[in-house]
Structure 1
Amino acid sequence: MEVMDVGIGMERRKRPRKASGKAAEAEAAAAAAAEAARAAAEEEAAGWEEFEKRMANPPTAEELRASEESWEKFCSESWERFRDRWIDVWSHGMIPFDAVTQIPCMRFTDANLRHPDFRNILYPEDTLQIVSVQVKDLTGGLQWPLDVYGVVAVRDGVDRLRNVVFSRERDDCQSINEQGSYLTLTGPSRGVVMSHDNSHLEVMLKMKGTTEYEDKDLNKFVDSYRLGCFLPIEYTSKFCTVEMQYYTAFSSVEATIFVRVFKGRWPQGFRGVLTASTLKQRDVQISLLQLNDDELSVNADGFVKLSRRVICVEKDGKLGLSIFQQGDGGKEGRAIAGIWIEAEDAGKATHYMPVEALDCWMEVTVAWSLFRL
């Protein structure tokens, strides 16, 4: 019997070779990228489908209210969780949650930066520059004006303790109205250092009622911020929205400001505001003191009692101080005096700002300091 050799006269089929080494890695990476792109496309398509469903069937007022209550509960619970977590990690059984930072401003103002003990540990840092905190968009039957008390504070990686921005007790409320709903900030007490690790903003504000039993929790939440964040922090409760405006001052030094009348007399009846700014954010004015029609309140050394005195300035930038006179009839105020001061790494420097419109001069002393993490 003749046996046919099927291998003769026929082209043998070759098996495909498997990629190896770098080629295999590239092939696997391409496959993973293709799979990720496919998953992203499916997720986007699902998102659009869900969006179209919501547009076709908008939520009812009851559903919106339920969603708001759920969000408010989450914010409140997140505050409680943050407190419990902070106590577990940072308290060490000794430090209370509401402990305030004991690290002062001007910490290294008098440091000899040429000395080896300081040369390699003190640096400019990226800092959180808090501009304002506003209560707005009242809901839940609340009406202006409001008497507000409570705490707004930040915690950074320097010591993880509260660096107080606003603090009022119930018997020392701030009255705010719709035209003036910004809180009068008294901090931070030192520069707020930013890093890639999360730092936190705490807000716990209450509205004073006729009796303490009738007080209401206006807003209570904790939010994180980190290096590179620029958007305002904003939270809405069932009663109001709290918004914090801020920006990042990159590679900055700390400036502590002292002001007093050097020549002439401060006029009674003047209304305006003393502000600070930086050259790189010159359009952002940070209120240091509201100037009302009464006399300036001064310390024993003659320096004006500012509401805030700590500002962080880019190392290669300038600190600006301005006096704005309040406009008539709600019109925007106009600057009547101003000065720009070069940033320094350490030391104190005194400058003089003429206020010709008020027939006086202001003495401005700035204490500069680097940071140590």
Structure 2
Amino acid sequence: MIAKPSPKEDPWLMLNGPSRALVLIDPIAFEVQLKVKSKTEPGKDELLAFKVFSYYKAFHSDEVVFTRFTCKRCTLEFAYAPLLPSVEATVTVQVIDGSWDDHVQGVVTCRTASMENGEMVLLASRDGKMPVNSDGVIELSRRVVSVELRGQLLVSVLGRGTGDKKGLVATDTALFTQMNAGTSHGVCDLGFCKVQVTVAWSFLSTLADMLFSA
């Protein structure tokens, strides 16, 4: 899922969840709360937008579904894609060769091969430096996505230079074929560094119950 407010220079809101894949049990309700954080009075955040909407269709979609709603102070657009029976994929990205310079912004995205316009942002460093820990692991804003059975997952890493590295643009993509369990590994070569993408696969509980009870 991607949340997007009214168009401005940078209109995208970064989602830091969910931490597990969502299972569609008809109907499903989405609740949205946006607050303006108070810098002077902790706990006195001001409500910017509140909305609840439901999704009633129990079948999958071949395209991204867009839902727009207007609140008192803004208009939000949600994009989401109901998939066929799916497994859960947990993504980890780690620098394994070279280093990520503080003057290089980074973006990590993924999508399933069947959903061409369904790109999901796992991390966008924007104006800040890439969050890389002492082990070289890039700390993603979100890590879990869904991949349909017999599907494929594409994970892309992009680096864009700022300051004295302005003009640098490098990107690469790792392709993974869906598995029911275990891990898959791929490498993205950005020139200034190489990053290893690891995907850990696991069944959703409802899918596992369905398969093993058949």
Identity of aligned residues (%): 34
**Is 1:134 equivalent to 2:4 in the alignment?**
yes
**Is 1:303 equivalent to 2:132 in the alignment?**
no
Tell me which amino acid in the other structure corresponds to 2:188. M
Structure-1 residue corresponding to 2:20: 190
Deviation at 1:201, TM superposition (A): 0.6
Q: 2:35 aligns with which of 206, 221, 236?
A: 206
- Secondary structure of 1:192's counterpart equals coil
Deviation at 1:338, TM superposition (A): 1.0
* Aligned-CA RMSD value: 2.8
2 CA distance for matches of 1:222 and 1:251? 25
**Is 1:345 equivalent to 2:175 in the alignment?**
no
Deviation at 1:355, TM superposition (A): 1.8
Task: Give per-residue Cα distances to partners, 1:320-343, cap 9 Å, x unaligned.
Answer: 011234599xxxx97621111111
> Which of the two has greater helix per residue?
1
1 CA distance for matches of 2:122 and 2:116? 15
Structure-2 residue corresponding to 1:260: 94
Gaps of 5+ in 1: 1-129, 138-177
TM-score normalised by structure 2 residue count: 0.79
Deviation at 1:301, TM superposition (A): 4.7
2 CA distance for matches of 1:311 and 1:210? 33
- Secondary structure of 2:174's counterpart equals strand
Query: Is contact 1:270-1:291 (8 Å) kept?
Result: no
2 CA distance for matches of 1:205 and 1:294? 22
Query: Is contact 1:202-1:223 (8 Å) kept?
Result: yes
Deviation at 1:370, TM superposition (A): 0.8
Deviation at 1:283, TM superposition (A): 3.4
Superposed structure 1 runs of 4+ greater than 6 Å apart: none
Question: Which is bigger in relative contact order (C-alpha 8 A, separation at least 6)?
Answer: 2
Structure-2 residue corresponding to 1:323: 157
Deviation at 1:271, TM superposition (A): 2.4
Query: Is contact 2:105-2:129 (8 Å) kept?
Result: no
Q: 1:223 to 1:335 in 2, by over 3 A?
A: farther
TM-score normalised by structure 1 residue count: 0.47
Query: Is contact 2:174-2:197 (8 Å) kept?
Result: no
Tell me which amino acid in the other structure corresponds to 2:5. V
2 CA distance for matches of 1:345 and 1:214? 46
Deviation at 1:307, TM superposition (A): 0.5
Tell me which amino acid in the other structure corresponds to 2:195. M
2 CA distance for matches of 1:284 and 1:202? 21
Answer with 1 or 2: which has the greater Rg. Answer: 1
Query: Is contact 1:207-1:218 (8 Å) kept?
Result: yes
2 CA distance for matches of 1:136 and 1:193? 28
1 CA distance for matches of 2:201 and 2:13? 27
**Is 1:360 equivalent to 2:189 in the alignment?**
no
